[in-house]
Amino acid sequence: MKIHIPTPLRQYAEKKAALDVSGKTIAEGLRNLTVQHPDLKKHLFTDEGKLRAFVNVYVNDEDIRYLKNVETAVKDGDDVSIVPSIAGGSCADGGTRSLRSRKTQKLL
Amino acid sequence: MTTTAPNIPATALSNEEILRYSRHLIMPEVGMEGQQKLKAAKVLCIGTGGLGSPLSLYLTAAGVGTLGLVDFDVVDYTNLQRQIIHSTADVGRKKLDSAADKLTAINPFLNIRKFDTRLSSENALEIFRDFDIIADGTDNFPTRYLVNDACVLIGKPNVYGSIFRFEGQASVFATEDGPCYRCLYPEPPPPGLVPSCAEGGVLGILPGLVGVMQATEVIKLILGAGEPLIGRLLLIDALGMKFRELKLRKSPDCPVCGTNPTVKELIDYNEFCGVRGEEAPVATDVPAITVEQLKQQLDSKKDLFILDVREPHEYQICNLNGYLIPLGDLPKRVHELDSSRDIVAHCRSGVRSGKAVTFLRQAGFKKVHNLTGGILAWADKIDPKMPKY
């Protein structure tokens, strides 16, 4: 399967936009991906090994939450997309910045 | 509770307006009826920044009758690369005033309502009440969740756009049968895990591309024409110039629009997004050195090793002659450093170098300090000739 890496996470995947990995399910594919690129692991999974709530995974255009989640079967030629939330609008400042601390975080 | 397309009554046009909007009037998809709906429509733009600029400019030109603008910020030089509603002469002015001038110049028929305030759980529902459609051009997670929840609670569509570097997302949330932002992302990322735009930068045209898509969706909702981006997430990759579309579903378990909602009123969104207090999430517990102390030590020829953990393209803008190892490369290049020497780590503002110091301390480096405020503080306090970015 080809896994599309979103911009914010490319820095943990040698700056690649997409990677070919093997695996018969999403779980296997993501496991192989994080074996190749260990820095991605904490961005995709919680300490308990669950996929993080702000990271959505799609097989082609379907959300795996509405399929069989990480056990969703994947065929050769399927496009798998990791789609994390992004917040930028004017992007003068931090994506996770507080409603209160505009001035401080602007320096980030 | 929510509506699919706002039910907007038509308002008659003057002869001047008929001439102005003639290219709309001769299109069957708009026509006199559609143009009158546009004139009667009330749209609220949250933010007059990168997304808010093209959004408000096009909605104004298209003949939207009432435009609300929410912003409390002031125009600065770094805004001008993408926030095209503001010009160089506006630096230092309130964005609301700068934006209102441009919009009125484009279309004197526009009725502008300025909200010189930070959108909050206290004022959001009150502000939203008078509008038909909310367009979210904000730049942070707490406000994104606030806008979404307020839209669901009050039953107004949320026309969403978001950007990072050269990648964007657009959708229409919180319509009657469609999903909301929380169906897509029930929880925000913890602070610090996703790099911020100021760390990552943003391609100046990208908010133009995404903001115009938001404007398009707003106009379609008003006209009741075409297929809105309801239940679809559009992904925009400006570098590859590739557009992909993903299916979104209304989640029955959604905490705000699901069958058994747990969020029934607006909450504390800073707390929800894990943002606490007034301070940015800067590593404050690492040993630090000020730019004044660094200058003094360099002047007295103390043996210091300056470690610059920024990226090579940042080094080209300005540097302190430091040894460059980008933060991401530090773990595999740590052997290049001598732990017996005094090391001062710096980045642009002190955040990344704080992480570097934490990492190096854990790796056994005992004489390593973080330069407080980074190279920006050096430019402010020691070398005013140094460019800031």
pLDDT at A47: 87
User: Please, what are the domains in chain B?
Assistant: 15-272 (3.40.50.720), 288-381 (3.40.250.10)
Establish whether B257 is a catalytic residue: no
| Residue B236: strand pairing partners | B168, B243
Q: Residue A65 is part of a domain; what is its CATH number?
A: 3.10.20.30
Q: Which residues of chain B have pLDDT under 70?
A: 1-6, 192-200, 275-284
What is the residue range of A41's domain? 2-106
| Cβ contacts of A58 on chain B, cutoff 8 Å | 246
Contact B52 A89 (CB under 8 A): yes
Contact B83 A90 (CB under 8 A): yes
| Cβ contacts of B195 on chain A, cutoff 8 Å | 8, 11, 95
Residue A91 scores a pLDDT above 60: no
Please compute, for residue B312, the number of CA atoms within 13 A of its CA located in the half-sphere on the CB side: 1
A42 vs B245: which has the higher pLDDT? B245
What is the spatial distance between Cα B257 and Cα B271, in angstroms, rounded to a whole number? 20
Q: What b/e readout covers B29-68, taking b as 16+ CB neighbours within 10 angstroms?
A: ebeeebbbbbbbbbbbbbbbbbbbbbbbbbbbebbbbbbb
Residue A51 scores a pLDDT above 70: yes
pLDDT at B194: 59
What is the SS3 assignment for B136? Answer: strand
| Predicted TM-score (pTM) of this structure | 0.81
What is the spatial distance between Cα B138 and Cα B84, in angstroms, rounded to a whole number? 16
pLDDT at B107: 98
Please name the residues in contact with B69: beta carbons below 8 A apart, sequence gap of 6 or more.
B44, B45, B48, B52, B56, B96, B99, B100, B112, B113, B114, B115
Maximum CA pair distance of chain A? 49
Task: Transcribe A10-47 into DSSP letters.
Answer: HTTTTT-SEEE---SBHHHHHHHHHHH-GGGHHHHB-T
**How confident is the model over B16-31, as pLDDT tens digits?**
999 999 999 999 999 9
pLDDT at A99: 45
Q: How many CB atoms lie within 10 A of CB B130?
A: 11
What is the SS3 assignment for B25? Answer: helix
Residue A8 scores a pLDDT above 90: no
Q: Which of B83, B190, B280 sits opposite A105 (nearest CB)?
A: B280
What is the spatial distance between Cα B156 and Cα B175, in angstroms, rounded to a whole number? 7
What is the spatial distance between Cα B163 and Cα B47, in angstroms, rounded to a whole number? 14
Contact A54 B188 (CB under 8 A): yes
Count the domains in chain A: 1
pLDDT at A84: 85
Establish whether B254 is a catalytic residue: no
DSSP-assigned letter for residue A73: B
**How confident is the model over B302-361, as pLDDT tens digits?**
999 999 999 999 999 999 999 999 998 898 899 999 999 999 999 999 999 999 999 999
Contact B207 A93 (CB under 8 A): no
Sign of CA dihedral B232, B233, B236, B237: negative
pLDDT at A54: 83
Q: How many CB atoms lie within 10 A of CB B306?
A: 18
Query: What are the phi and psi torsion angles at B327 (to 5°)?
Result: -45, -45
What's the N-to-C CA distance of chain B in angstroms? 46
Question: Which residue in chain A has the smallest CA separation from B211?
Answer: A89
What is the SS3 assignment for B78? Answer: helix
Task: Transcribe B302-344 into DSSP letters.
Answer: --EEEEE-S-HHHHTT---SPEE--GGGHHHHGGGS-TTSEEE
